[in-house]
Amino acid sequence: MSQGLETKSAKKQPAKATSPVQDKAAAHAREAVRTRKRQALVLQRERILAERTPSPIRRTALANALADIEEKLTELGWTVHL
């Protein structure tokens, strides 16, 4: 019964404030994750664009994969660089 009271009291406690240094480090870590995701998607996109196949089924699959990757890249703020 005491565990239930401890859990409820823990939920009522306000979240601990973070320091500006911790906030900056967390923001930097989030940006690093976004950059790695973006780089991985760009590499996948380049591989798909370089692939050639005579199969219409495979070309359709590649086109769908390319559209999916470009959608994810757009969500990450990437634009096509010509």
pLDDT over threshold 60, residue 59: yes
Extract the tokens encoding 32.
Answer: 């690093």
* Opening angle at CA 33, ends 77 and 18, nearest 5: 105
Q: Average pLDDT of 30-42?
A: 93
Average pLDDT, the chain: 84
DSSP string, 16-27: PPPPHHHHHHHH
Q: Give me the helix-helix angle, 56-75 and 20-50, nearest 10°.
A: 160
Question: Any idea where the domains of the chain sit in the sequence?
Answer: 21-75
Percentage, residues of the chain above pLDDT 70: 76
Per-residue pLDDT at 57: 96
- The reply to whether the predicted model has a pTM over 0.85 is no
Instruction: Determine the Cα–Cα distance for residues 2 and 18; give it in Å rounded to an integer.
Output: 30
Query: Residue 42 burial by CB count (10 A; 0-12/13-18/19+): exposed, middle or buried?
Result: middle
Per-residue pLDDT at 43: 96
pLDDT over threshold 60, residue 3: no
